[in-house]
């Protein structure tokens, strides 16, 4: 398990040892085990989801509406990633000329 300096404590190390994990915790003054330039998939996905303003400003208390917007954002994110991946691998007549998808 890779953790940053904020988790460097005896309590955390003991808990990880009890759970059977091999901890890689950055010590204060030393570089992190995984450098900041390599974003974890979860952080990257959260960043993509934060790009949808409707999700950030959703104040409706109905669970179904919040789930709808979350699933819609996830579907659009996956479609955007698939198109960007296909753009670099394949060619087709109606291929978008710009990298930015609208």
Statement to judge: residues 27 and 46 lie in one domain: no
Statement to judge: residues 46 and 67 lie in one domain: yes
**Mean confidence (pLDDT) of the chain:** 77
Please, which pLDDT band fits residue 18 given cuts at 50, 70 and 90? very high
Is residue 94 included in any domain, yes or no?
no
Is residue 100 included in any domain, yes or no?
no
Please, which pLDDT band fits residue 87 given cuts at 50, 70 and 90? confident
Instruction: Report the number of distinct structural domains present in the chain.
Output: 2
Segments forming the whole domain that contains residue 60 = 41-89
Buried b / exposed e across 7-25, counting CB within 10 Å, b at 16+? Answer: beeeeeeeebeeeeeebeb
Q: Report pLDDT for 89.
A: 80
Buried b / exposed e across 39-57, counting CB within 10 Å, b at 16+? Answer: eeeeeeeeebeeebeeeee
Mean pLDDT computed over 82-89: 80
Please, which pLDDT band fits residue 102 given cuts at 50, 70 and 90? low
Mean pLDDT computed over 65-85: 86
Statement to judge: residues 34 and 48 lie in one domain: no
Statement to judge: residues 33 and 45 lie in one domain: no
Tell me 79's DSSP state: H
Q: Does residue 82 come out as left (phi exceeding 0), alpha (psi in the -120 to 50 range) or beta?
A: alpha
């Amino acid at each position: 398990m890779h953790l940053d300096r904020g988790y460097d404590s005896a309590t955390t190390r003991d808990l990880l040892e009890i759970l059977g994990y091999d901890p890689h915790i950055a010590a204060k003054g030393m570089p992190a085990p995984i450098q900041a330039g390599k974003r974890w998939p979860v952080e990257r996905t959260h960043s993509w989801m934060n790009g949808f303003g409707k999700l950030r400003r959703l104040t409706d208390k109905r669970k179904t509406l919040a789930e709808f917007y979350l699933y819609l954002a996830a579907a659009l994110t996956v479609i955007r990633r698939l198109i960007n991946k296909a753009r670099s691998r394949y060619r087709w007549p109606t291929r978008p000329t710009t990298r930015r998808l609208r």
